[in-house]
Amino acid sequence: MYAEVLALIEAREQTDEQFAALVAARADAQEASALSENRYKLKKGTFIGVGTIVELLGRSGANLLRAMRNAAPQDPLIDEGVRLIDAGRWDIGSQATHNALDEIVAAGAMPAYVATALKNLGRTPDLIPTAVVTDVLDRRAQGVPPPVDGIAVNDLVRVLPPFDSVFPGTYRVLGTSPDAIELEGVDSRFAPHFLEPI
């Protein structure tokens, strides 16, 4: 998550003066909150049907279903969606479903607020913890390279097979790059998948 958060921070600093001011002031909780806006994890396997839509949207839901049924003969995407809804098998946590909702909104067949309400049934907030933002900014300020596959400078690691017989014991990480990790007291560099944090 380190590399992702660092990239988000640096991109946002370049385009958002208020965010850059938060970073300069080290208002890490506010930065984490700003970076977390509109981030979601999908809950694949969240199946809904007619009852869920009517319960969520009331009369608007019933009107939506009627409009979708009327549009179904002319639009294969809506037709398949109606079939899944009628069977109670519409996976509202699927990226394909979210994409379909966006297409339906773009075609003018559904208001955006309805699509958002439906999408919210199949997703949860994907918050960036303040502690991660603090760690990322602390490391950046100290010039410490980012962790690679969860392995960071000064971590203790052990070497995995087939190299563990040549390099037994634990080693301190001296440096990281995306394809190689440098260990204290070892002339060789290792790909991250050959190391295990202790």
- Mind listing the pLDDT tens digit for each residue in 46-70? 999 999 999 999 998 998 899 889 9
Domain limits of the chain?
A: 42-125, 145-198
Distance CA 90, CA 64 (A): 15
Mean pLDDT for the chain overall: 93
- pLDDT at residue number 108: 85
pTM over 0.85: no
| Residue 195: exposure state from Cβ atoms within 10 A (0-12, 13-18, ≥19) | buried
Q: What distance in Å separates the CA atoms of residue 98 and residue 93, rounded to the nearest whole number?
A: 8
Please, which pLDDT band fits residue 168 given cuts at 50, 70 and 90? very high
**CA angle (37 as vertex; 115, 18 as ends), nearest 5:** 135
Surface-to-core class of residue 181, CB atoms within 10 Å of its CB (0-12 exposed, 13-18 middle, 19+ buried): buried
CATH 2.30.30 fits 145-198, yes or no: yes
